[in-house]
Amino acid sequence: MNERQISERVNKLRKERNMTQTEFGRLVGLSERSVGDIERGRRSISVSAVANICNRAGVSADYLIFGKHDPIAAITALNDLTHEQIKIILDITMSFVEFMNTDTGNNALIQEVLRRYQPAAVTQMLC
């Protein structure tokens, strides 16, 4: 277990959620100072803190400790999106899967997705 990498993942997780150290600490049951110390590698992260972060921030321990991505956490993140945003993501994903299954190797499906969903709309959806 590399504590520096765990510290970096805690920091990244907090920033991905656009939270201050105080807000993130409230979410996961830690003080602002504890979050800051963990992020800077000045404090080891306890097992209970790992469990709280995983349970309350919707990530797996595999991600937090080992950096392995968890598909369940990705699905959980969809809870914050509107129905229309999820539909757009699914449409794009299905178009990409169809494209990847073609033997021709052309990019017609990706061009169609980009035509249908203007880049500005996709960017706005993801932000």
Distance (Å) of CA 114 to CA 106, 119, 120 = 14, 7, 10
pLDDT tens-digit readout, 69-105: 766 666 666 777 788 888 888 888 887 777 666 655 5
| Rounded-to-integer distance, Cα 46 and Cα 7, Å | 12
pLDDT tens-digit readout, 22-52: 999 999 999 999 999 999 999 989 899 999 8
Domain positions in the chain are 3-78, 81-126
87 or 118: which leads in pLDDT: 87
First to last CA, the chain: 32
Pick the CATH number of 3-78 from 2.40.30.10, 1.20.120.1200, 3.40.50.10330, 1.10.260.40: 1.10.260.40
89, 74 contact by CB (below 8 A): no
